[in-house]
Structure 1
């Protein structure tokens, strides 16, 4: 190891600095665990409520809308109320909710609808999901902040 490399592994106080991968490993682990939980929940919902060929994919639609609403509430809670542990946001926000919501399946569903001769349904699904998901985040944030303001003495 050369002198500049050895120097970069020390903090200003002279204490050895942990390698970057050691500080990021817990974050990667909780994102992976949360993602597995969220994706499993989404998959279970898709099995329980399958889309009919050429029909509106309701399970994916509601998964994305509910997930966006929960993201809105979660962001208010961890930014305005609770000083969360550094792994809570990656676990729940990126992992669980990132695995639960599925905008890639949304895109595939649109393509399948168009390819199978249902372009109107595909366009309706495209627009409805976009509007509903954005509205869900906005309404959830506004409602959560309003409840918090109302509850303050």
Structure 2
């Protein structure tokens, strides 16, 4: 049933990412905010999930796969982010492309660390 856990989580994550993009991407012409929020929020939630799994090793493989591989894998998107960066590069918008790369990559890693730290505060160190 692991395949079902991954598939169900991925569908929910992808639907949320799509909804965020429909709602927020039109707000900014240079930074698709829905994609950015999905990637940074997903990074934070991944950090929380990693900390939670370490603190609660009894969680089933299906639960971990549903949350981390499925939902968060479906929510975050490297391919959409990459296509949005390429769109800026093709238009010669090097500053916007570089800014997007820094905001997505650095922001996501920092928020993953923050989420992991937060999980350790809530559930203790593993």
Q: Same fold (TM over 0.5)?
A: yes
**Which structure has the larger Rg over C-alpha atoms?**
1
TM-score with structure 1 length normalisation? 0.75
Q: Which moved more, 1:113-122 or 1:45-54?
A: 45-54
Deviation for aligned residue 1:73: 0.5
The question of 1:138 aligning with 2:113 is answered: yes
Equivalent in 83, 89, 106 of residue 81 of structure 2: 106
From 37, 43, 52, give the equivalent of 1:68: 43
Checking the alignment, whether the CA contact within 8 Å between 1:54 and 1:116 is kept in structure 2 is no
Distance change (3 Å), C-alpha of 1:145 and 1:113: same
Q: CA deviation at 1:62?
A: 1.2
Q: Of the candidates 53, 56, 61, which is equivalent to residue 31 of structure 2?
A: 56
Change (3 A) 1:53 1:142: closer
> Which residue of 12, 15, 22 corresponds with 1:47?
22
Q: Does 1:125 align with 2:96?
A: no
CA contact (8 A) 1:54 1:113 kept: no
> How many matched pairs?
125
TM-score normalised to the size of structure 2? 0.90
Q: Distance in 2 between matches of 1:68 and 1:27?
A: 23
Higher helix proportion (structure 1 or 2): 2
| CA contact 2:25–2:31 (8 Å) conserved in 1 | no
Higher relative contact order (CA 8 A, sep 6+): 2
Q: What does residue 4 of structure 1 align with?
A: none
Native 8 Å contact 2:55 2:123 kept in 1: no
Task: After TM superposition, give the deviation of residue 82 of structure 1 in Å.
Answer: 5.0
Q: Which residue of 1 aligns with 2:3?
A: 28
Give the 3-state SS of the residue equivalent to 1:144 in structure 2.
helix
- Structure 1: any 5+ residue segments left out of the alignment? 1-25
Unaligned runs of 5+ in 2: none
What is the aligned partner in structure 2 of residue 22 from structure 1?
none
Would you say 1:83 and 2:65 are equivalent positions?
no
